[in-house]
């Protein structure tokens, strides 16, 4: 796991698996942890690192309901969990799904000793909406569906940081998961474009923080790929720099979920 500072009030942790990101932000005596790292030893390290850096954890936030973004309670069992209304609906409609997928991952990856994941209670956040952080700041919550049926992005305008979930990744092509859609993904990219211009740094769900100009470049590449997916299906060209075997498998899955 890597830890990267974004100014004095934001820390990004990048898991050694999937380069999944976890972002800590603070304002005075309050702070949130957005999404999660993957391995138990990474999660166990978070409280000590954040305490040493002076980052309080008033609550947890998730960008969407995929299991690899919901593990914050392994590090902070007593913390409240906030998520977008669409994610709350997904978790209610799919009880136990995240836990089952996590168990399958652990079995396949030979991960032992993980404590059970609790998702018993969560707070649904309206999107668009705002969430107070400290006495002076408001975190913005914006809808971000398409990768999955649910999702939000979080903009911290006072620090110029956008945490956008599984979009704008420098290492992963757009992924249309079950329940997601190309048209919804393109609509989210349209919304994200304005948000990216208001940020200095973008934290995608996978791949580590990127600067605004690079995020806008990726956004254009992703929109072009998705448009080609609609017209050319499996013959669509993948974005440059993201044409590995793993990304071609994602592309093949995307093609099966794109209307012809």
The tens place of each residue's pLDDT in the chain, 260 residues long, gives 999 999 889 999 999 999 999 999 999 899 999 999 999 999 999 999 999 999 999 999 999 999 999 999 999 998 999 999 999 999 999 988 999 999 999 999 999 888 888 888 899 999 999 999 888 899 999 999 999 999 999 999 999 999 999 999 999 999 999 889 999 999 999 999 999 999 999 999 999 999 999 999 999 999 999 999 999 999 999 999 999 999 999 999 999 988 75
Residue with tokens 């796991």: 1
Long-range CB contact pairs, 9-16, < 8 A, 24+: 9/159, 10/156, 10/159, 10/161, 10/201, 11/49, 11/50, 11/53, 11/55, 12/203, 12/208, 12/209, 13/37, 13/42, 13/46, 13/49, 14/207, 14/208, 15/39, 15/42, 16/42
- In what order do the strands lie in the sheet containing 210-211? 129-133, 137-143, 152-156, 161-165, 201-204, 210-211
Dist. CA 6–CA 209, nearest whole Å: 9
CB count within 10 Å of CB 114 equals 15
**Which tokens go with 235?**
């013959």
What's the fold here for domain 2-256?
Metallo-beta-lactamase; Chain A (3.60.15)
For position 257, what pLDDT does the model report? 87
Residues 147, 163: Cα–Cα separation, whole Å:
15
pLDDT for the residue numbered 258: 81
- Residue 177 neighbours by CB distance under 10 Å: 17
If you ran DSSP here, which 8-state letter would residue 20 be given?
A: B
The count of other CB atoms within 10 Å of the CB of residue 176 is 24
pLDDT at 119 (0 to 100): 87
pTM of the model: 0.95
**Res 227: pLDDT:** 96
Domain ranges of the chain: 2-256
């Amino acid at each position: 796991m890597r830890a990267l500072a974004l100014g004095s009030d934001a820390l990004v942790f990048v898991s050694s698996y999937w380069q999944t990101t976890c972002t800590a932000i603070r304002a005075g005596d309050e702070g949130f942890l957005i999404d999660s790292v993957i391995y138990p030893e990474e999660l166990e390290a978070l409280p000590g690192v954040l305490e040493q850096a002076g980052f309080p954890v008033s609550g947890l936030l998730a960008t969407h309901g995929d299991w690899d973004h919901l593990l914050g309670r392994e590090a902070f069992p007593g913390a409240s969990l906030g998520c977008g209304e669409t994610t709350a609906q997904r978790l209610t409609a799919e009880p136990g799904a995240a836990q089952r997928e996590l168990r399958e991952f652990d079995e396949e990856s030979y991960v032992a000793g993980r404590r059970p994941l609790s998702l018993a209670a969560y707070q649904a956040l309206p999107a668009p909406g705002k969430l107070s952080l400290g006495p002076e700041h408001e975190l913005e919550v914006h809808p971000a569906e398409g990768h999955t049926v649910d999702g939000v992005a979080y903009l911290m305008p006072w620090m110029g940081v956008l945490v956008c979930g599984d979009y704008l990744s420098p290492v992963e092509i757009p992924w249309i998961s079950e329940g997601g859609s190309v048209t919804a993904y393109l609509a989210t990219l349209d919304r994200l474009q304005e948000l990216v211009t208001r940020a200095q740094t973008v934290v995608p769900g996978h791949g580590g923080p990127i600067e605004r100009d690079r995020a806008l470049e990726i956004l254009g590449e992703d929109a072009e790929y998705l448009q080609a997916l609609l017209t050319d299906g499996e013959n669509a060209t993948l974005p440059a720099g993201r044409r590995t075997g793993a990304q071609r498998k994602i592309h093949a899955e995307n093609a099966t979920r794109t209307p012809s």
